[in-house]
Amino acid sequence: MKKLLFILLLLSGHLLNAQSRHQQYADLSVAAGNGFSPALSYNYLWGIGKKGKFKIGTGVRLTYFAAQHKDFITAPARLTSGQTGPQVLFVENILANLDTLHLAKSGVFYLNIPIHLQYSFSQKFEIGFNIDAIGLSFGKEQTGTFEASNSATLNGSQQSAKPTVFNLLLVSDNDLGSLNSELYFRYWFSKNIGLRAGASFQFIEYRTNRLLTLENDRFRSKNLLPMLAVSFKF
């Protein structure tokens, strides 16, 4: 009997230690500025090392982005920089290749799987970064004005577009679809409730229903928004 109690105590201690090193929480955030963007997520982070202060994780996040009178610029890296690959981070845009799709109204729901990196300074205070990796987008078709840099015929024409369906994290302008990333600080006011504050950087992408200049149908808006969130730890 004593041996059984000892084993149970060891197991319970191990479980409590694992729970303190790992983190499971739901999160409701709101970002606003040059657009309005609430997001709802479930996240699970694994502690690394003996103390588990550094954590990596994943989860699922549903983000909505809405804006009025938004410009969407030519998206593919092969056009924006003339290259594809990691080097697009360091190459200037080719302005002659950039066209604009102006939408009076835009609204995109996108459901993605994020990647999380986080460091806990204490049980109360954390800093972290996350970025969407892969998922799907959906939203209504919109009609906008196309401003073409290389076509007098298409310039000023009305074009219909829908959110790009498939989202995939690659590198910068190589990315596909709509993706959300956050840099944040979080403070846990209690064992289960915390507040996050930081910035949300979002790629929002629409695809026209026909190829336009330079055989392109993808247009992107890049948005940096201040963000607040409430976290609920399980």
Which pair of tokens denotes residue 105? 């109204």
What's the confidence (pLDDT) of residue 1?
53
What is the reported pLDDT for 9?
A: 36
- Token representation of residue 113: 């799987």
Nearest CA to 194 out of 61, 43, 57, 64 is that of 43
pLDDT value of position 30: 98
Q: Which of 109, 216, 206 is nearest to 162 (CA)?
A: 206
Phi, psi for 24 (deg, rounded to 5): -130, 120
pLDDT for residue 34: 92
**pLDDT at residue 3, rounded to an integer:** 52
Judge residue 158's burial from the number of C-beta atoms within 10 Å of its C-beta, 0-12 exposed, 13-18 middle, 19 or more buried: exposed
Separation of alpha carbons 55 and 71, rounded Å: 37
Distance between CA atoms of 76 and 83, rounded to whole angstroms?
A: 9
The tokens for 115 are 């990647």
DSSP E strands, the chain: 23-32, 36-48, 54-74, 100-120, 125-138, 142-147, 157-163, 166-168, 179-188, 193-208, 218-233
Q: Are 181 and 199 in contact (CB under 8 A)?
A: no
Report whether 79 contacts 216 (CB < 8 A): yes
> Which range is least confidently modeled, 73-77, 136-140, 153-157?
153-157
Tell me the CA end-to-end span of the chain in Å, nearest whole number: 33
pLDDT digits 0-9 by tens, 15-64: 334 445 789 999 999 999 999 999 999 999 999 988 899 999 999 999 99
Pairing of strands 218-233, 54-74: antiparallel
The pLDDT tens digits for 133-151 are 999 999 999 999 999 988 8
- Reported pTM: 0.89
φ, ψ dihedrals at 183, nearest 5°: -120, 125
Structure tokens at 131: 């970025």
Triad 117, 121, 123: Cα angle to 5°? 100
Tell me the C-alpha distance between 129 and 152, whole Å.
44
pLDDT tens digits for 164-219?
Answer: 999 999 989 999 999 999 999 999 999 999 999 999 999 999 999 999 999 999 99
Q: How confident is the model at residue 100 (pLDDT cuts 50, 70, 90)?
A: very high
The mean pLDDT of 61-86, rounded to a whole number, is: 95
